Amino acid sequence: MKVWKMVMIVMSTAVLSACGVPAAAAVSGTGETAREEASATYRELLDVLDESTLPASETAYPEYYGGAFVDEDGELNVYVTRGYETDADELKKRFGEKAVYREGDYSYNTLTALMSDLNQFLLNEQEDPLAHKIKDASLDEENNRIVVEMEDISSQTIQVFREKISNSRAITFEKAISAPMAEVKRAGSLDSTSIS
């Protein structure tokens, strides 16, 4: 069940991106007009990024792109990867004030590669005790990070995670909130270890 939820998270993020709707846009923004404008700018941004990526490239986006999200004010925020600021100058000229630019530590390619590594671990190592401790993971575009939720976020468990999956500082850890057993059963599962 955990593996399927992780795969579904990655797939839904990919679908939202493919449709040109940032994941945060579905829930952020105060005004419908501001959100619509930010979504249109986001779609235009993705088109520009697609044009700037060489067809033979192994990466989906230019390294200067660190992700994007729509904030609660309906503004499109674009992360520019630290060290690649001049590479993003054309992008900034093209979009001007249609977006807010933030300095990010990690490229979107790096973040999606980390999610892929995590998903591969969960798919291939289902019997590993660590796989059972990971309750959820997501690409947090608002903070330019990967968030991994586990019930046990002790330094020992995090060290095992870093040894087995990734030692990247782009990954942050949060304590997973356990659903009461009644909620798990209501969700159609009798397995108390599954994610509701």
The DSSP output letter for 175 is E
Summarised one tens digit per residue, pLDDT across range 147-178 is 999 999 999 999 999 999 999 999 999 999 87
Residues in the chain: 196
What is the pLDDT at residue 185?
41
Residue 120's pLDDT band, with cuts at 50, 70 and 90, is very high
Which of 3-12, 68-77, 80-89, 164-173 has the lowest average pLDDT? 3-12
Q: Tens of pLDDT along 17-65?
A: 433 444 444 444 346 788 888 888 888 888 888 766 555 556 688 999 9
- Both tokens of 185, joined, read 């059963």
**Domain hosting residue 95, numbered range:** 2-107
Give bridge partners of residue 111 from the DSSP assignment.
none
Helix (H) or strand (E) run with residue 101 in it = strand 99-104
Q: Verify that 121 and 61 share a domain, yes or no.
A: no
Q: Supply 65's token pair.
A: 């792109």
Banded model confidence at residue 179, pLDDT cuts 50, 70, 90:
low
Contact 41, 80 (CB under 8 A): no
Q: Would you state the pLDDT for residue 96?
A: 84
- Structural domain ending residue among the three candidates 64, 87, 107: 107
For residue 54, how many other CB atoms are within 10 A of its CB?
8
The average confidence (pLDDT) of the chain is: 78
The answer as to whether 47 is a domain residue is yes
The pLDDT assigned to 43 comes to 86
What is residue 54's predicted lDDT score, i.e. its pLDDT?
A: 52
Burial label, 104 (beta-carbon count in 10 A; 0-12, 13-18, 19+): buried
Whether 56 and 143 share a structural domain: no
Residue type, 134: I
Task: Report the number of distinct structural domains present in the chain.
Answer: 2
Position 46 scores a pLDDT of: 83
Whether the per-residue pLDDT at 5 is higher than 50: the answer is: no
Q: Which of 107, 131, 163 is the last residue of a domain?
A: 107
DSSP 108-150: HHHHHHHHHHHHHHHHH-TTSHHHHHEEEEEEETTTTEEEEEE
Look at residue 193 and tell me if it is in a domain: no
Same domain, 18 and 90: yes
